Amino acid sequence: MDAKELYDRLRKIQEPKGYFFNKDMEMTMALMESLLTCKERLGYMACPCRLANGDLESDRDIICPCVYREADVAEYGACFCGLYVSREFNEDAIEKRVVPERRPPEKILF
């Protein structure tokens, strides 16, 4: 599967739920490529904007779409990565702000 196929497949699943891909297609497709790279390396599509440790159970909260997406999109109009956004975000109807990390500090690798 390539990035475009992944995009098309996920779009069909996520848009009916109210989650859209960022209209910045250069960024979105780069994130799609990163998800595929994570899948190849780890066996699962970990959030490309976070450092996965390679243990499925430890990383379960950051498997894309991560468990933080719903709250991020509700509050900021975008997830931490900016991959998933609200319709209003893509329509420039809301202010674009930096989305803070919600993942607990003890799970963050440095």
Q: Enter the pTM of the model.
A: 0.94
**What are the pLDDT digits (tens) for 53-91?**
999 999 999 999 999 999 999 999 999 999 999 999 999
The CA-based angle 77-42-23, given to 5 degrees, is 25
* Domain 3-92 part of CATH 3.90.460.10: yes
pLDDT (0 to 100) of residue 55: 94
**What are the pLDDT digits (tens) for 9-32?**
999 999 999 999 999 999 999 999
Secondary structure letter of residue 60 according to DSSP: G
pLDDT (0 to 100) of residue 3: 97
How far apart, in whole angstroms, are the C-alpha atoms of residue 40 and residue 108?
22
Domain ranges of the chain: 3-92
